[in-house]
Amino acid sequence: MTEQRSGSRLAVLDGLRLLAALMVVFYHYVALARPWGHSTDTIFPTAHKLAQYGWLGVEIFFLISGFVICMSVWGRTVGGFAVSRLSRLFPAYWVGILLTVVVVKMWPEVSSLHGWDTVITNLTMLQGGNNTPNVDPVYWTLFVELKFYLIMVVVVLFGVTYRNCLILCGVWTAAAALAPVLKTPLLTAFAMPQYAPFFIAGIAFYLMRRFRPNAVLWAIVVLQLLLAQRYIDYRLATNLGKAAVDALPTWPARFIITAAFALIAAIALGVFDRIQWKWLTTAGALTYPLYVIHMNIGMTLIHHYRNQIPAPVLVATVTILMLMAAWFIHLLVERPLGKWLRTTMRRGIDDVRQHVTPPRMHARRSTLQTATEPPQSPTVSASSCHPASTATAPTATSHPTPPAKPPNPRRSSP
């Protein structure tokens, strides 16, 4: 399969990321009763109906993530991928935890802390794996992302190729389809049947972008679109309660999911390549910081001032404040701390590589040196000068090591 294009900066994709984040913000601020003390259908008669589907911004995130992470792993080692992801996720996340703890501690109106051990565990981003409560409820999605990253690490180990990505799509689809029937906890945890269709479709869309669309990739996308419909009722019940499944129509959710697939398809096919507005790149930079700080902090502000400021003005003001805070976090924390983390982690990985180089690699290097360098004195052999040499290295009284035989061309790999 010949590569067509790996793509430059996809500005429209950045804009879509912010749109998905604002959908989630709209859902939390307008649809939920918690920040207002009662149902919002009387406060926002029309907006409330739309906001009830804002949770679908998470599904759009996962769709975009499948596309972006597949792009990110291409040509990278496991260490390089880990550095890029960890330095991207943790700086804003740590600040989000700190700010949320401060606000919730000072004004425990809509949420409260479950103890400092909970906060400390949340700093690892692994709280989802040991039933520790999230400092902010939105953090549950980050653990889903981490599991997706781990799946992609397996692909990196085998080699990120067109063929291996297709194998991943097929195996993951089968696992996600069988998980509810097999009821194996480990399989269900990593197959993630509710969210797998979005990640898998994103991978297929990126393969279209990097190479070219074909019948196989379109079949994968259509299959994932159909499988995504299976869990709409489940997601409605999870976000709005079981009563919402019977009370709300599902067609708006189906329409939003289909529209998101269509937009990513258009991006994959290059429809929006000419759109390179700088503000879209800025929008993409705001997305993650906005997501990790908006819920408990914003809902606390709404609850605190709900009787003093008109509801529409309050929602708009809090949203703007969260966007401004996200920009400062990106500028003052993500950039410098992310850069420091990347540099430090790369240095650490280099150190590990130097100290855990397999013995075979050492022997191969010694053989190559013996074959290519001028003959040495019998009293000093190449292996005795190697830093990893042991007590078995030749001494001054040893017989000189015969020159290495040239490699057999029939056995050498291409």
Q: What are the pLDDT tens digits along the chain (414 aa)?
A: 666 555 467 999 999 999 999 999 999 999 999 999 999 999 999 999 999 999 999 999 999 999 999 999 999 999 999 999 999 999 999 999 999 999 999 999 999 888 899 999 999 999 999 989 999 999 999 999 999 999 999 999 999 999 999 999 999 999 999 999 998 999 999 999 999 999 999 999 999 999 999 999 999 999 999 999 999 999 999 999 988 888 999 999 999 999 999 999 999 999 999 999 999 999 999 999 999 999 999 999 999 999 999 999 999 999 999 999 999 999 999 999 999 999 999 999 888 888 776 656 555 545 544 444 444 433 333 333 334 433 333 333 334 444 444 444 433 333
The helix or strand, by DSSP H or E, that contains position 60, with its residue range, turns out to be: helix 56-73
H runs (alpha helix) in 159-277? 162-182, 185-191, 196-210, 215-228, 232-240, 242-247, 251-268
Task: Please check whether residue 34 is in contact with residue 299, taking contact to mean a CB–CB distance below 8 angstroms.
Answer: yes
Instruction: Report the pLDDT value the prediction gives residue 245, as an integer from 0 to 100.
Output: 87
Instruction: Report the pLDDT value the prediction gives residue 354, as an integer from 0 to 100.
Output: 82
- Provide the 3-class DSSP secondary structure of residue 292: helix
- Name the residue type at position 347: R
pTM of the model: 0.84
Cα 124 off chain centre by: 15
- What's the CA gap between 154 and 161, in Å, rounded? 12
User: Ramachandran region of residue 9, left (φ > 0), alpha (ψ -120 to 50) or beta?
Assistant: beta
Q: Can you say whether the dihedral through the CA atoms of 57, 59, 62, 64 is positive or negative?
A: negative
Instruction: Report the pLDDT value the prediction gives residue 5, as an integer from 0 to 100.
Output: 55
User: Tell me, what DSSP letter sits at residue 230?
Assistant: G
- What's the CA gap between 311 and 329, in Å, rounded? 27
